[in-house]
């Protein structure tokens, strides 16, 4: 049994909004405060073969950002070659994504870490099978959610729809992070303010636009204190 709530689940308003970038920043922020961190991406699609293993770049970045080295099989229980919707990739591979298997991998990771940062696949309602989707994961693991909002035209609608979906599923939104996916966005500050007024959860930070895949933590400080409070207040799994 996991002795306490020991994780946060990172989802996004869409695919390609910077969930992996934000998850690595969260891992490093927790690590800077002395937390032993582990990473997890339960389902990944888009991989290349290395020996007998399938390698997904997002998974490798998450593993590199964590302070606890964990087996790839626990960090990423399901990895598929084609970069397509997970339930389609799983179907083509003849695989059924098992939520209990994901829960067991999470529990094993949590035994050796103070906190596990878990990144979902795509947006909140991306299907994982005929009767499951990404929203089932934070509910199954009983974890608070961090929402990554890709700051571009349309982000207000996408963010508010995602928040509404969380509320309908009974999920706890612990905070949200804006990611500047474009070098310039018309009325970016006004969009952020509109979201702050409408999302009943703290803004944990705004990540600056940057070319390349490696974040600079010094340029993108996140306020993780609200997350620590949520984690400490939640009951054990």
Mean pLDDT by 10 residues, the chain (237 residues): 70 95 95 95 94 89 96 96 95 96 97 96 95 97 97 97 98 97 92 97 91 56 91 69
**What pLDDT shows up at residue 211?**
63
Rg, the chain, Cα only = 17
- The tokens describing 116, both together, are 């596990």
Give the residue numbers annotated as catalytic, written as ranges: 41
**What pLDDT shows up at residue 1?**
35
d(CA 143, CA 139): 7
For residue 45, what is the enclosing H or E element?
strand 43-45
**What pLDDT shows up at residue 159?**
98
Tally of CA atoms within 13 A in the half-sphere of 49 that contains its CB? 2
d(CA 209, CA 224): 20
d(CA 122, CA 11): 7
CATH architecture of 7-233: 3-Layer(aba) Sandwich (3.40)
d(CA 208, CA 198): 22
The DSSP output letter for 207 is E
**What pLDDT shows up at residue 110?**
95
Q: Show me where the domains of the chain are located.
A: 7-233
Q: Are the CB atoms for 2 and 237 separated by under 8 Å?
A: yes
**What pLDDT shows up at residue 50?**
86
Within the chain, what is the greatest distance between any pair of CA atoms?
50
Q: Are the CB atoms for 11 and 176 separated by under 8 Å?
A: no
87-92 LR contacts (CB < 8 Å, sep 24+)? 87/126, 87/127, 87/128, 87/129, 87/130, 89/45, 90/128, 90/129
For residue 10, what is the enclosing H or E element?
strand 7-12
Q: Are the CB atoms for 178 and 151 separated by under 8 Å?
A: yes
Give this prediction's pTM: 0.92
d(CA 4, CA 61): 26
d(CA 184, CA 172): 31
- The tokens describing 128, both together, are 């994982």
| Three-state SS sequence of 77-112 | CEEECCCCCHHHHHHHHCCCCCHHHHHHHHHHHHCC
Q: In degrees rounded to 5, what are phi and psi of residue 212? A: 95, 175
**What pLDDT shows up at residue 3?**
40
What is the DSSP pairing of strand 127-129 with strand 115-123? Answer: unpaired
């Amino acid at each position: 049994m996991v002795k306490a709530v020991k994780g946060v689940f990172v989802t996004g308003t869409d695919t390609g909004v910077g969930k992996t970038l934000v998850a690595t920043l969260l891992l490093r922020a927790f690590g800077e405060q002395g937390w032993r961190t582990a990473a997890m991406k339960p389902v990944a699609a888009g991989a290349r073969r290395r020996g007998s293993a399938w390698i997904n770049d997002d998974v490798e970045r998450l593993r590199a950002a964590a302070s606890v080295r964990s087996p790839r099989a626990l960090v990423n229980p399901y990895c598929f070659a084609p970069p397509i919707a997970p339930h389609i990739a799983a179907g083509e591979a003849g695989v059924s994504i098992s939520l209990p298997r994901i829960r067991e991998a999470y529990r094993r990771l949590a035994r050796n870490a103070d906190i596990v940062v878990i990144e979902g696949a795509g947006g909140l309602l991306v299907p994982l099978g005929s009767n499951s989707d990404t929203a089932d994961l934070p509910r199954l693991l009983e974890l608070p959610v961090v929402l990554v909002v890709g700051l571009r035209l349309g982000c207000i609608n996408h963010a508010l729809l995602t928040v509404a979906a969380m509320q309908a599923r009974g999920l706890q939104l612990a905070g949200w992070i804006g990611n500047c996916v474009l070098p310039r966005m018309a009325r970016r500050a006004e969009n952020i303010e509109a979201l702050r007024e409408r999302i009943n959860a703290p803004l944990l930070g705004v990540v600056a636009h940057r070319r390349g895949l490696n974040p600079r933590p010094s340029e993108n400080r996140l306020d993780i204190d609200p997350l620590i409070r949520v984690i400490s207040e939640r009951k054990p799994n």
